[in-house]
Every structure is written in structure tokens, then in C-alpha cells.
Chains A and B, each alone.
Chain A
Amino acid sequence: MKSTGNNTMLSRVADSLYWMSRYLERAEHTARLMDVDLQLQLDQSGETGSDHWRRLVKAARVPIAEIEAMDSTALTHALTFDRQNPSSIVSCVTAARENLRQVREQCSSEMWEQLNRLYLQINSTKPNDAWIRHSHAFFRAVQEGAHLFQGVTDSTMTHGEGWHYIQLGRYVERTDAVAMLIGSHFTRLPNPQDQVAESEEYLEWVGLLKSCAAFEAYCKAYTAELRPLRVAEFLLLNPEFPHAVRFSVEMVHAALRAIGELTDRKADQPVRLSGRLRAALSFSQIDEILLSGAADYVSNIRSQCAQIHSAIHQVYFDYLVDTAMVS
């Protein structure tokens, strides 16, 4: 018995679900990056290693001024436990939980319990020396916690408008994060040849794939022969792999279309923008992309992604009164 008519969702609630999902995706992404890089460091010479760290920090969008002066322990701490850093894992999980707490009646109890469990687990971890030695388990736990939350969400929450905002948050965040990661690799190695990568460079590409949970999937598609061109193609244009940019944009578009249907705003800006980006990715070819500069290509994707984000805000969350009279 619904007295308020069908499909009413408060903008505040939609906003919270969207951000909850973005933050959790961000925590998972950072945890995976750290996990992969700490492993990778073991195989690398000191200089390449520390250079790698800096790129990682940049990819994790850490607004810390004194990055240059930090050693890897300090950086690990900044990215994991530092509450001052809004992109640290602790900050992201806390923000995700806080967003869900505000709209608890909108999600299933199982979802709340799972996210709360993850939050309590992370907050009970003490960042001491012993922790550094077992950090792998910690980063795995964050990733697993996020995966579990996604599974619980998909199987316990009505796949209505609210669920679509959760999808939207996850994939907008993922599109941006993966695009940025690819961009930073291609900035460092601007003209990759279409040949098998070797030694140090090989490790870099493995690192990139693993940071997107894509190493095994790549090997299935192309064998373990790592060619930069194929790596780029796989991560950018694969329509079936869930961490590929194209796949993520497909999901963003699907969520926005569903929301457009539910809110009766089919022709609005967010759907148009995501549709355009989706079309561009569907019909791109990797050699063309590399020819015209991969770094430019991904930075263009990122700016389109930012436009989609602000369009979502303007249309669904924070619109002007005069544009939105319904009844």
C-alpha cells in the first residue's frame, strides 16, 4: 500500500546511494592498487619502485603536498589509514557507511550489516609494523568486503531506482579510475611498440593489468604474451570485462536509461552524454587511438565522465526549482 504514488525517490536518498557506491568502489580500487604495488616492489629495483609509488599516489588522487619526501611506509599509511586524506581507504569506507546510514530504511538489512562489518573490521586494524608485514591480507579483506557488499546488494535489494543509483556510482567511479590508471602508464611510456614487453617494462604492464583485476582475463583472451597495444585494447575497449572502460560506460549508460525511464526523463542530458561516450568507445580502434595519442584519448574520456557526473547532479539531485515542477 503506497500512498505517495509510484516510484518516488527523494533526491537526497539518490545522492546518498550514489556516493555510497562511489566511495566503496574507490576504497576497493585503492586497496587493489596498493596490494598489487606492494607485491610488485619486491621484484623491482629501488629507483623504478619509488617512481612507481609516485604514479600510484597520483592515480589515487592524494591531495598531499609533501609526496616527494615520503618513503613507502609513510605513503602506505597516507593511502590506507590517514583520516586527513579523503581518498584513503579508511576515509572512503567511513564515508560510504555514513552515506548508507543516512538512508538505512532504503536498503536491505543485509546490506547495512555487510557494510558495517567491513567498517568495523577496518577500524579495528592497528597500523603498526606487524601490520605492514601482513598488509596483503588487509587489502584482500577490503576488496572481498566490497565484492561481498555488491553481491548482497544484487541479491537482497529491489532492482529499482535506488539500485540503479548504486550501479551508477560504482561504474562512474570505475570508468574514471581505470581511465586515469591507463593514462598514467601511457604518459610514462608514450610510444609503446607493438611487441612483447620485456623485463622491467613487462612488470609495469603486469602491474597495470593486475591493478584492474584483469591479468587472468587478459591471458585468457590473448595468452600471457604481453603486448602494450593489446593491454590497452583490453582495458579500454573490451565490452565484456567488468573493469574495462567500455564495459563500465555501458553500465553507466544502462543505469541512466533505466533511471530515465523510471523518472520519465528519457531525453535528458545524462543519457545523451553517456550514450555519446558509449558510442565513441564502441566504434574506436586501438591503433587509431595510439596513433593520435593514448594519453589524450583517456583524458578526453575522463572529462566526458566528469560531465556525466555533473549532469547527474544537475538533473536528479540538485536541480533548479523552476525547471522541475511536476505536479
Chain B
Amino acid sequence: MANLRDLQLNHGTMDMNPDYTRAIPDEWRKVERGLTQRITALNLFLGDIYHQGRILADGIVPKELVYSCRHYRREMRDLSVARGIYVSVCGSDLVRLPDGSFAVLEDNLRVPSGVSYMLANRKVLKRVFPTLFGDYGVSPIDHYPQTLLATLRSLLPANSSYRHEPNIVLLTPGVFNSAYFEHTFLAQQMGIELVEGRDLLVHNNVVYMRTTAGLRRVDVIYRRVDDDFLDPLCFRRDSSLGVPGLFNAYRAGNVTLANAIGTGVADDKAMYAYVPAIIKYYLGEDPILENVHTYLLTNESHRNYVLEHLDELVVKAVGESGGYGMLIGPHSTAAEREVFRQRIVAEPRNYIAQPTLSLSRAPCFLDGEVQARHVDLRPYILYGENVTLVPGGLTRVALRRGSLVVNSSQGGGSKDTWVLRA
């Protein structure tokens, strides 16, 4: 049986002292099966709502929830994607429930980031503690870029040109993006070209990149640019990061985008509450990993309960990420609660509430001593020919004492995570 251990590495301070390892019960295999089940079901769900919409007709998921979602893309209706896979790169956030089991806190189905930290943490720790790795039998994760490349290769578009090697590129918003480092790192590790929107052009519905030797056809784009900015002719017109005409080329089946457009509808925080039902509907199975209990504020009784218990709950805006647009009840002031009360009453569809989890804590070496900090775990799931998880993930740490916000944009750190060989 596999075992899970984690070590710490504080990113913000680049303090490389891994001070402590902690055994977590052997449940990696369960995590693997659970997340595989989840990504499979969510992909079927996306295929369904952008085609026949059976799940909506059957009343399992309310229509209005889908159609009112900011990330729902009408443009994707009846468009077939390669292999029927919408989400090929996913990062799901796991937390520990009080009984010690893992539950899914949220899915990131758009452009999840952080995988380079996972790889960098491991690289640093191997340098610092070479002997530990041999002694414990830690499963390697270094093959992530290779697996990602294989995943992207498996997603060739319908009209791929067979005359040459498939040309796979990574599309970045550019040097000013906070994840630019990760983009260059992954492109380098995979040996593919790192392109910006201005390097690409569309001619007769085919995507090309400008090289010094002329235009080269592009087959698969691992895009790290949000839907909104991908194509100024189709989405936001003020976008200078995108490629005019890209969507038409996509529609014509001449290029694959990974992840597909419009996947955000499935990681909407209100949709999250329906994921167990979605799994049941498409796979006929019970979810292997639990959800965190979620109050939908469009439901009147839920809403009344939440408004009465704002000081105990966590309220989240459905379309936000990065730890923004959140109210953490126990840590909030009366004024902050009042602001959220008004927002919830005005736009109930935009918020959900969850019980404040006592996120599990891990020891961290901070300011010269070992202290407890809250953590969560983000494993990365790849879906191409089959579903693959590299055995590990990014353990995110809330570096401020008592804080429950682990997002790196808000002062979070990260730790290496070890999955021990069986």
C-alpha cells in the first residue's frame, strides 16, 4: 500500500529547511481512483451540456445553473473536441476531513497552475536530503512533463496534417503573467515551443506560427491563456493576448486547445455541489472522494440558514479563484459580514457557503522553530489516452499563523509531497 508523506518548503521566503515528515494513512490509491472517477465524470458532463443536455433534461442539474454561469460558452454548442476530452489537465484541491479522510474542496478545470512548484520543490529537497529519498522509497514525479507531452500528443485534431510530426506549442500570455516562469519551465522540459499570441496567425482556418524559416502549422495548443482572451474576434475584443480567428480554426477541427474552451462551467463553485450527482448519473457509481458540504444560496432554506450563521461559515464567490472574493466567517468582522449579507441577498447565484473546515495542519519550519500551519493538497491529473496522476502533488501552506488561505497569490507557501512506494 502506498503511503503519503509530506515535507515542507516555504516558497515565499525560499527557506529550504524541510524540518519534519508526517505519515498520512495509506490512501494514495484511493485518491487516484477518486480523482480519475471525478475527471471522467466531469468530462462526460461537459460533453453532455454542450451537446444533447441529457442531464439537464433529466433534471439532475438545473438548467439555469448551467446557462447562468459566466464560464458557459454558447460558442461551444455542438462542437466536437478531440477524443471528446474537454479537460485534459486538471488540478483538484483536496483537504482532510476531521476523520482524516480526503475530500475534494474544489476542481480547477480551466488553466490550473503550480505544477512547476511541485517539480521544483522535489528538485530542491533531493539536493538537500539525498539520503532520505533512498531510505523512504519515494515515488518519482519527474516524468510529469513527459506525461503531459504524451497527453497533448494524444489529442491531435480531427484534421491534423499527417505529413509531419505534430507541432505542439504552449501558449502563454507573456512575460508579465505571474505564472510565466512555469510556462517557460514546462515548455523547456517538454521541448516544445513557447509562443505568445503574436507568434501565431490563422490563415484559411489553419493555425500557423511564425518562424524564421517561414510559417509552421500548429496542431495542438496547450494554452495557459483564459477563454476570455483567446480570440478577440470571438471573445473579448480588447484582448491583445489572443489570436484572431483561433476559434474558427478550432471549430473547423484544425487545431486542438487543451483544455477546451468553456470548461469553467464545471468548476463553478455552485456546480461543485452537484458533482456527486453528476458522477452517479454518468458512471452509476458512488463518489469515491467526498465533497465538502455546500449550501446553495439560490435555495431559500439554505440561504436563510447561511444568513443566520455567517459567522460560522465560509462564503465564496462562485466564479473566483486564487482565494479572492471569500468571507471566512470566524475570522471576519461584523462589517465584512454585512457586506457579504448584502451581496448574497442581491445576487444569490454568485455565492455558495461551506462550513469552516479545520484544515489539517502540518509542521513547518518558520523563524527558526517548528510551527503548525494549515495545508491542502493539489494533485495534478492528466487525461489523454487514459487518466494519469503522477504520485505527488503540491501541498499548499497558509504561512500566516491560523490563516486558512493557502493561495500563493495571498502569501501561501508550498511543500514537497511524498507518496511512498508500496
Do A10 and B193 touch across chains, with their CB atoms under 8 A apart? Answer: yes
Give the size of the chain A interface in residues (CB under 8 angstroms): 30
The answer on a CB contact under 8 Å between B166 and A8 is no
| Closest-CB distance, B174 to chain A (whole angstroms) | 8
Assuming the contacts A3-B168, A12-B199, A101-B175, asked whether A325 and B215 have C-beta atoms less than 8 A apart, the reply is yes
* Residues of B with C-beta under 8 A to A8: 193, 211, 213, 216
B165 within 8 A of A: yes
Task: Given A2-B191, A327-B163, A327-B164, decide whether A14 and B212 contact each other with a Cβ distance below 8 A.
Answer: yes
Cβ < 8 Å to B, chain A residues 174-226 = none
Interface flags, A1-19, vs B, CB<8A=1, else 0: 1111101111110100000
Closest to B210 in A: A11
Docked-complex contact B217 and A327, CB < 8 angstroms: yes
Q: How many Å lie between the Cα of A327 and that of B169 in the bound state?
A: 16
Do A9 and B212 form a contact, CB below 8 Å, given A3-B190, A104-B184?
yes
Q: Tell me the bound Cα distance from A14 to B167 in angstroms.
A: 19
Q: Is the CB of B212 within 8 A of A4?
A: no
- State whether A263 touches B216 (Cβ < 8 A): no
Contacts of A271 in B (CB 8 A): none
Chain A residues, CB < 8 A from B95? none
- Knowing A3-B166, A4-B167 touch, does A326 contact B213 (C-beta < 8 A)? yes
Contacts of A102 in B (CB 8 A): 175
Interface residue? A31 (CB, 8 A): no
Known contacts A5-B165, A102-B175, A327-B164; is A263 also within 8 Å of B191 by CB?
no
With known contacts A4-B167, A327-B164, A9–B211 Cβ distance under 8 A: yes
- Give A162-175 as 1s and 0s: 1 = Cβ < 8 Å from B's Cβ atoms: 00000000000000
Are A326 and B215 in contact, with the CB atoms below 8 A?
yes
A209 CA to B235 CA, complexed, in Å: 59
**B216 to chain A: closest residue by CB:** A326
Tell me the interface secondary structure of chain B in the complex.
Answer: mixed
- Whether B161 pairs with A327 at a CB distance below 8 angstroms is yes
B366 CB to closest chain A CB (Å) equals 30
Minimum Cβ distance to chain B for residue A262 (Å): 8
Do A10 and B213 form a contact, CB below 8 Å, given A1-B191, A3-B192, A102-B175? no
- Whether B191 lies near A11 (C-beta < 8 A) is no
A102–B194 Cα distance when bound, in Å, is 11
- Contact of A259 with B by CB under 8 A: yes
Does A161 have its Cβ within 8 Å of any Cβ on chain B?
A: yes
Please report the C-alpha to C-alpha distance between residue A147 and residue B141 in the assembled complex, in whole angstroms.
42
Contacts of A263 in B (CB 8 A): 211-214
- The reply to whether the CB of A267 lies closer than 8 angstroms to some CB of chain B is no
Report B17 CB to chain A, min CB distance, Å. 25
Which A residues lie within 8 Å of B192 (CB)? Answer: 3-4
State how many angstroms separate the Cβ of A180 from the closest Cβ of chain B.
Answer: 28
**A264: Cβ under 8 A from any B Cβ:** yes
Which residues, 1 to 60 on A, are CB-close (under 8 Å) to B? 1-5, 7-12, 14
Question: What is the CB-to-nearest-CB distance from A148 to chain B, in angstroms, rounded to a whole number?
Answer: 25
Question: Can you add 9 more A-B contacts, CB < 8 Å, to A3-B149, A10-B212, A11-B212?
Answer: A4-B167, A4-B192, A5-B164, A5-B216, A8-B193, A11-B211, A321-B208, A321-B215, A324-B214
10 smallest CB-CB distances across A and B, nearest first, come from A263-B213, A326-B214, A324-B214, A11-B210, A105-B184, A316-B212, A9-B212, A14-B212, A324-B215, A2-B191
Q: Which residues does A use to contact B, with CB under 8 Å?
A: 1-5, 7-12, 14, 101-102, 104-105, 161, 259, 262-265, 316-317, 319, 321, 324-327
Residues of B within 8 A of A (CB): 149, 153, 161, 163-169, 175, 184, 187-188, 190-196, 198-199, 201, 203, 208-217
